[in-house]
Copies of this chain bind each other. A is one copy, B any other.
Amino acid sequence: MAGPRVERVRRVPYAKHAGRRAAIVEAAAEVFAARGYHAGSFQQVADRVGMSQSSLFHYFPTKRDLLLAVLERRDAVGAMRPDRVHASSFVDEVLAVARANTEIPGVIELYATLSGEAVTEGHPARDYFTRRFAGLRADFAADFRILRELGLLRDGVDPDRAATSLVGLWDGLQLQSLLDPRVDVVGCLRDYLDGILLPDPEPA
């Protein structure tokens, strides 16, 4: 952020500043979810929060800054993966997150729209989604390796490919469910995990 702008913003008390910033990011998320990044405009975001464009610039000097703030907020609001788990409660945790995602269709819609747009060359969220997918794959692969050590992964299942498939399946199912709510994201994810994991051994 440029120095003079930061100075001017500092005149607003911090709590008020943070509250306004959050309201702007919320409005930007709505605009990008409804129209996509390219078609969404600074003016639409400013209108939604009842601010002038020049006031908005104090908080976010570029549309790209606004997009990155929306994506960071998304990560905070709707984490896509459970904390590391060491047994087949892994399934419960994945399904709990999937179920929670059905409660935040706006966030999932934003994610579908932006991730689809982001594949285009030079899109400002391209790096974000590339890193995000790589991170999800690495985390799930690590989980599957632990499950394999515990004897809970079926023979022949490759942890890296299973991780890639789980991330892909999840995204693809969510996309379908946004167009047809009868699509059972949680049920299909459960089927997939049941197919690659072995049941927990009975307690002795």
Chain A residues in the interface with B (C-beta under 8 A): 33-36, 38-39, 109, 112-121, 126, 129-130, 133-134, 137, 157-158, 161-162, 164-165, 167-173, 175-176, 178-180, 183-184, 187-188, 191-192, 195-196
Contact = CB atoms under 8 A, between A and B. Distances in A.
Given A165-B191, A171-B171, A176-B133, A115 B118 contact: no
A113 B109 contact: no
Main DSSP-derived SS at the A contact region: helix
A119 B179 contact: yes
A151 to B, nearest CB: 18
B161 A188 contact: yes
Contacts of A180: 130, 133-134
A117 B176 CA distance: 13
Contact of A164 (B35, B117, B134, B184): B184
